[in-house]
Amino acid sequence: MRDIVLIGLNHKTASVDVRECIAFTTEETERALKALGAHPAIGESVLFSTCNRIELLMAADEGLSAISAAKQFLATFKDVPLSQFESSLYQYVGEDAVRHTFQVAASLDSMVVGEPQILGQMKEAYRKATLEKTSGVILNKLLHRTFFVAKKVRTETGIGDHAVSISYAAIELGKKIFGDLAGKRVMLIGAGEMAELAVEHLIRNRVGAITVANRTFARGVELAERFSGQAIKFEEIVDFIKDVDIVISSTGATGYVLRREQIKDAMRNRRNRSLFFIDIAVPRDIDPAINRINNAYVYDIDDLKGIVDDNIEDRQREAVKAQRIIDEAVIGFRKWYDTLAVVPTIVSLRGKVEALARQELEKTLATLDHLPDADKQAVKRMTDALVNKILHEPTRFLKKNGCYGDKSVSLDLTRKLFNLD
């Protein structure tokens, strides 16, 4: 049987400098898979490459030889000395490789436990491998099972629940305040990465009008257009505040962008409607003294970090449940994998054919009561002889070394043809 092996490095074992040297572009991945498919020491292969990990999953006749070949392949293909990244590599064989693959897909091995992006990235990597025909019977089965396990973890645990990023936590806080963000009007002060992430979460929560204020007006217009919002100039912030429900601020300013006096004047035009400020900037954009104004509420990044820290603990607790699901899945995959061994397949095949022959023989003999016992025994001997002759060539074929190629393909096909599972 082929060994399942995996080598790789990730954010835990390698610095970003090392990961950048080994990372594969889309075009490089296609070329790499072609080369791996032709490598004599590597039978099947799937290559994962993201900003946080580069992994090569393989099925090979000799696992250790495949690992050695894969290390040298990475060094040669990326033109980086093996000594520069070998100490950052991890390697898994057999059940450990299977378990690691399940854990990665379920985001238990991610920088942020529970993040959903890795599953989509793995599916894309598998799609490329199937296009290049480098994934065969074993890795096909493993990755189909991997995607099933990841979905089960996502639906049966709370590993993806709760905010674990500051921008997402800001939106979750808004939901707690209002109960529902649908239709709520939002002002974003600043148009950087944090603001972009916040807007994406806001859109998913079906907020109402989005107003973007940025010191560089062109950048504010660019962000507003992407989300069908309105861009205003920094000088207009106070004028527009009377019309919004939530203000999220994330600029790089060194002092307060909004002060108590400005908001006190603006609140007179709001007719006691509550206004919530969520300040995710460091240093802070929103004067904390605004909290002393009636119906004005300010939350800063420390408040949000407390939410994030609590939620990370929640996810870690859910990760324990996820690990149980994965452990059960590893056992299930092992059972399938063991059936690909020659002897169990031959035993199952013979058992199936003999059971069918016995069943038909009993039916026939039940209608031939007039036959003497000697004749009935002769019919039984003939049936046994037929079973042996029918199974002789398939058994001989399966026992042959390699079955004219990849043994796992022949064994898997045999089990499917005769419905042995």
The partner residues of 44 in beta bridges, in order of sequence, read 59
> At 134, is the secondary structure helix, strand, or coil?
coil
Q: Which two tokens stand for residue 51?
A: 């900003």
Question: Angle 95-105/137-156 helices, nearest 10 degrees?
Answer: 50
Helices (H), 248-294: 260-267
Mind giving me the DSSP string for 393-421? HHHHHHHSTTTTS-HHHHHHHHHHHTT--
Rounded-to-integer distance, Cα 43 and Cα 47, Å:
13
- With contact defined as beta carbons under 8 Å apart, do 277 and 301 qualify? no
Helices (H), 106-243: 117-131, 137-156, 166-178, 193-204, 217-226, 237-241
Residue 318: its H or E element: helix 301-339
Rounded-to-integer distance, Cα 16 and Cα 127, Å:
26
Rounded-to-integer distance, Cα 347 and Cα 369, Å:
33
Rounded-to-integer distance, Cα 348 and Cα 395, Å:
11
Rounded-to-integer distance, Cα 138 and Cα 403, Å:
16
Nearest to 335 by CA among 145, 178, 161, 148: 145
Nearest to 306 by CA among 177, 172, 116, 110: 172
Contacts 24+ apart (CB under 8 A), 210-216: 210/185, 210/186, 211/185, 211/186, 211/187, 211/240, 211/244, 212/187, 212/188, 213/187, 213/188, 213/189, 213/237, 213/240, 214/189, 214/190, 214/251, 215/251, 216/191
Question: Known catalytic residues?
Answer: 51
Phi/psi for 247 (5° steps) reads: -120, 125
